Amino acid sequence: MPELKLTRRAFLIRSAVAGGGLLVGFHLPAATKLAAEPLVAPAGEQPVEVNAWIVIQPDDSVVIRVARSEMGQGIFTALPMLVAEELGCNWNRVRAEYALASVNLQRDNVYQSMSTGGSRSVRSSQELLRTAGAMARELLVAAAARRWGVPADDCQAENSVITHTPSGRTVGFGAVAAEAATLEPPQNVFLKEPDEWQLLGKPIPRLDVPDKIAGKPVFGADVEVPGMLHAAISACPVFGGRLKGFDAAAIEQRPGVVSVVALDAAVAVVAESWWQAQQALQALPVTWDEAGNGQVDDAQIRANLEAGLNVDDAVTMAEHGKPALAFQSAQRHIEATFYAPYLAHATMEPMTCTAAVHKDGRVEVWVPTQNATASLEAAARIAGVDPRQVEVHNTQLGGGFGRRGAYQDFVEQAVHIAKAVSRPVKLMWSREEDTQHDFYRPASMAHLKAALDGEGRLTGMVVRVSAPSILISLGRKADDGHDPLALQGLADTFYAVPNLRADYVLRRLHVPVGFWRSVNHSQNAYFREHFLDQVARATGQDPYAFRLDLLKEAPKQRAVLEAVAGYAGWGKPLPEKTWRGIAVETSYGSHCAQVAEVQVEDDGRFRLLRIVCAIDPGHVVNPDTITAQVESAITYGLAAALFGEITLRDGRVQQANFNDYPMLTLRQMPRVETYIVASGDFWGGVGEPPLPPVAPALCNALYAATGKPIHSLPLSAHGLRPA
Amino acid sequence: MLQLMVNGQKHELDIDPDTPLLWALRDHLHLRGTKYGCGIGLCGSCTVHVDDRAVRACLVTVSAVSGKAVTTIEGLGTGSQAVQQAWRELEVPQCGYCQPGMIMASVALLREKPSPSNDDIDAAITNICRCGTYNRVRQAILAAARKREASDA
């Protein structure tokens, strides 16, 4: 996902340096008064903000601010680790808290982007955070040295204590923090080399686990503010439609009901409790203007995508070599068409937001958001106030997966409703509303064609994707038919294909589309990797050896592929009815290869035995978090590959809840073996990269078992189901 | 007035007797560790104990549990320490939203079957987790069972 373009005054200068370490120059706006919620301090003593990221408490404990959202991926631990590594504080006394979007606005974007997506949190902010930690350390050391009248070079910080090495004198961070905050930050600091890291690279326990096993974290759904009412909402079941009318009198007498609020394309019932609101909403007679979309069904959508495969005006997103010539001179062509359906995010916590529009013009929202800045802007827009009048209180997120960032529809609705009833309101969507009003992973159809020479070598490939565009529908890209995301992994493939053309055909459909964990890599890796297995098998080649041959100039991808093949025992005999499939993908800065092992019965039922995964994320911040994210992305990807399908009838989504949009369960979950093969010379993401390989690895295993390629997902549509 | 016994405390509630226990807990008793996920008894995010058995709080009405002992994640006592400790050691939670339900289901399972087999776990833990904590949940249940056996021995 592209970064929000924002001006930034904080700048970063790199310099060539001697003596190890990365020298960085860095300007943090001068410490200003704490705008965050007051921190607890002993009487008479105050916590001190050394810079925007770091607050030192009088007792030497440290609060580290996190500007990205914790949605399970572990950044409430990983990002503080990056700061603490350089700060030299006692990790056991670190607490993480959210940085505020309002502060980011007031302080000229000191936190830079607050958008949490694209597996970007660590890789795009690691240098900023390490630098913030190093800057603060330098200030604390300088303050101690000044107090002692000694050179700062003779002092060092470790475990939240500064020591004057020659004399052995010590002072805690808390005792010098106030003075440190008044000093001019250094122009340049050195960052540690990886071999000097003490925290980074270690499986540090997550800071949020103790609360999460006790039911304590406050998710969006758990917010309670004084005088608050509850709202349930129903949006027009046909996308693009509008609210035409409703009969409020039919429900106004029901217990607890306070108000019925009309929105443009939705109606909300406000009541004393959510249950009352939801019950009343279900009983409310509503009529909708379906805007002419009330007839659209899945067959039409597929026909539309299929037509896209045959249009003459496709946009060529990548071309190299001479693909047309390659096909003319080829000994053999192999081609296939694939389809991947719409998918909902289905976060465990449905969309929710609490809003208060105060009489003095201030607006507050409490929201599980993947982008607090976007939430702030949405609230200001709907309330009609200056963005500086808005405070966003981030809560924990009951999952995100791309649903809660670029789209702030739930914030807009909550602010609208709170304004209408002049009371704070907590809006919560039912599961059904959540399933039927998502911004779906785009349905996509692809045609892949391979040219082969006499020895079965791949000499050319022509790929065409026919699908709606997320970026164009969001207005983030000119509506010119180009979408660089639509061909992720196809236009920019790492395989050595000497002649390649990758075309995109934009389709305009009425179903809202959005960023879904790993975005278009999720469909495109399935298309490409499953197709390569078809090519390999058609030419009598082993799928692993066939790939290796195409990866001669891609050492990182080759390394993860070799690693996973080794750990999975590729090529070794398997028990009866057991089959393997392999796949590899590079996405969001990391390389990931997987082998799926399945046991297939004659009736098409199968057991997922294990997924072996090798991932190269470059540098490793927290290996246990990486392992957990591999398990997570595999679970998410498997649920989609096995059952995931949002279909349309009468312009409406047919699925509503977990009975008809099923999830993977514990019983079906395969063993996952994760191997982190970190090459250590780059910073890659981990939230998404393990997802794209799982569907093709599984499809390739089933293909090996049955000899039948799988031309569309989910597998359940082909009678292929886990036992 | 409905009488509810939750986490050892008596409450009197003046609400519709058909209100699901989940919403009575969350919106009336302010016990928000019990989560809403689907409202149709499938996801298990709302799992609580009623007289020590795992129950999906979205499917039972407050009137049906009146006079029975309801336990939520907030009221789990010392009997669950092994489970929560295993959860902590194995770093099970990710987003954490489904975890109270997972823990409640696991504690109930271990109460019934102190040494559960993998099949027992498959059958008892039908809760949905979108983050993919399943394998760690399984390992944590087995670890908690071992820990209890060791301390009982």
**B48-91 pLDDT, tens per residue?**
999 999 999 999 999 999 999 999 999 998 778 899 999 999 99
Give me the residues paired with residue A548 across strands.
none
Compare CB distances from A635 to B16, B30, B134 and report the shortest one's residue: B134
- CATH class of residue range A220-291+351-428: alpha beta
Q: Which residues of B touch A218 (CB under 8 A)?
A: 32
Query: Are A219 and B16 an interchain contact pair (Cβ–Cβ within 8 Å)?
Result: no
Compare CB distances from A669 to B35, B98, B134 and report the shortest one's residue: B134
Q: Is residue B87 within 8 angstroms of chain A, CB to CB?
A: yes
Domain map (residue ranges) of chain B: 2-75, 78-152
> Which pLDDT belongs to residue A41?
43
Q: Is residue B126 within 8 angstroms of chain A, CB to CB?
A: yes
Domain map (residue ranges) of chain A: 12-212, 220-291+351-428, 298-343+440-722
Query: Are A217 and B96 an interchain contact pair (Cβ–Cβ within 8 Å)?
Result: yes
> Which pLDDT belongs to residue A239?
98
Fold of A12-212: Aldehyde Oxidoreductase; domain 4 (3.30.365)
Pick the CATH number of B2-75 from 3.30.365.10, 3.60.15.10, 3.40.190.10, 3.10.20.30: 3.10.20.30
Task: State the DSSP string of chain B.
Answer: -EEEEETTEEEEE-S-TTSBHHHIIIIIS--TTS--S-SSSSS-TTEEEETTEEEETTTSBHHHHTTSEEE-GGG--GGGHHHHHHHHHTT--SS-TTHHHHHHHHHHHHHH-SS--HHHHHHH-----SS--HHHHHHHHHHHHHHHHHHH-
Low-confidence stretches of chain A (pLDDT < 70) are: 1-44
Q: Which residues of B touch A657 (CB under 8 A)?
A: 38-40, 42
Q: Give the Cα separation of A529 and A493 in Å (integer).
A: 11
> Which pLDDT belongs to residue A624?
98
Q: Is residue B116 within 8 angstroms of chain A, CB to CB?
A: no
**A152-163 pLDDT, tens per residue?**
999 999 999 999
Pick the CATH number of B78-152 from 1.10.1200.10, 3.40.50.2300, 1.10.150.120, 3.40.50.300: 1.10.150.120
Pairing of strands A257-262, A266-271: antiparallel
Pick the CATH number of A298-343+440-722 from 3.40.50.2300, 3.30.110.30, 3.30.310.50, 3.30.365.10: 3.30.365.10
Please name the residues between 57 and 76 in chain B that touch chain A, using a CB distance below 8 Å.
72-74
**A366-420 pLDDT, tens per residue?**
999 999 999 999 999 999 999 999 999 999 999 999 999 999 999 999 999 999 9
**A598-631 pLDDT, tens per residue?**
999 988 899 999 999 999 999 999 999 999 999 9
Compare CB distances from B38 to A224, A431, A632 and report the shortest one's residue: A431
Compare CB distances from B93 to A209, A658, A664 and report the shortest one's residue: A209
**Which residue carries 């068409």 as its tokens?**
A337
pTM metric for this prediction: 0.94
Biggest distance spanned by C-alpha atoms of chain A: 84
> Which pLDDT belongs to residue B77?
81
Domains A12-212 and A220-291+351-428 equal at CATH topology level: yes
The ipTM estimated for the assembled molecules is 0.98
> Which pLDDT belongs to residue A154?
97
Please give the distance of CA A493 from its chain centroid, rounded to a whole number: 22
> Which pLDDT belongs to residue B153?
60
* CA-wise closest residue to A522 among A641, A628, A403: A641
* CA-wise closest residue to A581 among A614, A533, A545: A533
